[in-house]
Amino acid sequence: MNRIEAIEEEVASLSGEELAAFRAWFAEFDAASWDSQIAEDARLGKLDGLADEALRDYRSGKCSDL
């Protein structure tokens, strides 16, 4: 059994209350991980092309108010 399968088995055995607590913890963990990855990508310039495209669209009037 690999680690993922072991984790799946453990999660499947949680009570409803434990599962709710785990779900809340994982949502926060996942969001923090995503934020860190976006920050790193921005630091490395990986998002520069997207930002440039968005600014071009904005300046050319292709954008509308939300």
Question: Has residue 1 got a pLDDT over 90?
Answer: no
- Residue 41: CB atoms within 10 A of its CB come to 13
Whether residue 65 has pLDDT greater than 90: no
Whether the model clears a pTM of 0.75, i.e. scores above it, the answer is: no
CB within 8 A of 61, min separation 6: which ones? none
**Quick one: what percent of the chain has pLDDT higher than 90?**
92
32 falls in which pLDDT band (50, 70, 90)?
A: very high
CB atoms within 10 A of CB 22: 13
